Amino acid sequence: MFFQIFYSSHSFLILLLLLTAIIGDYIVDHSKLHLHRALFDNITHALIGGISWLVVCMVFRNRYTTQTLAEIALCTVIASCIDLDHFYAARSFHLKDATNLKNRPALHCSTFPLFLVFILLLIAHVLHERWLLRITLIILTAFASHHTRDAVRRGYWFYPFGSTQSISYTAYIALTIVIPYLVCLMIKFVGIQQNSSSQFNVDIL
Ligand SMILES: [Zn+2]
């Protein structure tokens, strides 16, 4: 009975993630005003980020409600704020300038979060700081979901190696669903590593 509830709520979240992506993209594509397109595009990024971390929390059956809500909020905010670098790169607060850049802005370079996450994971592992590990994986989830959605138009950008081809819409949807589970695998891996080297608790989340 318990597992039934767990798995049903789990598939409900995957369905929610799927629908958020598809409906969000549909609204963006059918918005006529530039402002509406940018707004709905950003809301979709934010929601996908938040729901992705909710899936991670559900897989690990996080029991700390306030902490879970704060983490979901953090992932939502990071997934949304990545697009602020459009304004920074344009040196302008005008939406038209921000969305008409010649080059992709820095936070859209996938090498940056990969490097940052690697460094933070290393620090978290050495210092045995579980809160830092959680925040690092929240950052990874937010960037991975955001970059995957943007990759439909422009591919992934791995400076200095260049960019990949644009990915198909099906690949984007599939990756969006897979990302939270990849993060869960990382949590399990890091948890097992810590457990074998010290008396660190395997229940990371
Ligand atoms: Zn973006």
Assigned token pair, 41: 């595009």
Q: Calculate how far, in angstroms, residue 59's C-alpha sits from the geometric centre of ligand 1.
A: 27
Inside any domain, residue 202:
no
Q: Are 42 and 80 in contact (CB under 8 A)?
A: yes
Q: Characterize the bridge pairing of strands 157-158 and 162-163.
A: antiparallel
Inside any domain, residue 55:
yes
Assigned token pair, 158: 């791995």
Distance CA 93, CA 18 (A): 32
3-state secondary structure of 185: helix
Q: What is the pLDDT of residue 188?
A: 83
Amino acid at 77: V
Inside any domain, residue 86:
yes
Nearest of 102, 103, 106, 56 to residue 84 by alpha carbon: 106
Give me the number of domains the chain comprises. Answer: 1
Inside any domain, residue 205:
no
Per-residue confidence band for 91, with pLDDT thresholds at 50, 70 and 90: confident
3-state secondary structure of 62: coil
Q: Calculate how far, in angstroms, residue 35's C-alpha sits from the geometric centre of ligand 1.
A: 15
Q: Calculate how far, in angstroms, residue 32's C-alpha sits from the geometric centre of ligand 1.
A: 19
Inside any domain, residue 204:
no
pLDDT above 60 for 36: yes
Range of the domain at 93: 2-197
Q: Are 17 and 48 in contact (CB under 8 A)?
A: yes
Residues whose Cβ atom is located within 5 A of ion ligand 1: 83, 150
For 113-171, write each residue's pLDDT tens digit: 999 999 999 999 899 888 899 999 999 999 999 999 999 999 999 999 999 999 999 99
Among residues of the chain, what percentage have pLDDT more than 90? 63
Query: What HEC string does 102-168 produce?
Result: CCCCHHHECHHHHHHHHHHHHHHHHHCCHHHHHHHHHHHHHHHHHHHHHHHHHCCEECCCEECCCCC
Inside any domain, residue 175:
yes
Q: Calculate how far, in angstroms, residue 199's C-alpha sits from the geometric centre of ligand 1.
A: 41
User: Exposure string (b/e) for 145-169, b if CB count within 10 Å is 16 or more?
Assistant: bbbbbbbeeebbbeeeeeeeeebee
Distance CA 9, CA 169 (A): 26
Distance CA 54, CA 60 (A): 10
Among residues of the chain, what percentage have pLDDT more than 70? 87
Q: Calculate how far, in angstroms, residue 83's C-alpha sits from the geometric centre of ligand 1.
A: 5
Q: Calculate how far, in angstroms, residue 121's C-alpha sits from the geometric centre of ligand 1.
A: 24
pTM of the model: 0.86
Q: Calculate how far, in angstroms, residue 81's C-alpha sits from the geometric centre of ligand 1.
A: 9
pLDDT above 60 for 100: yes
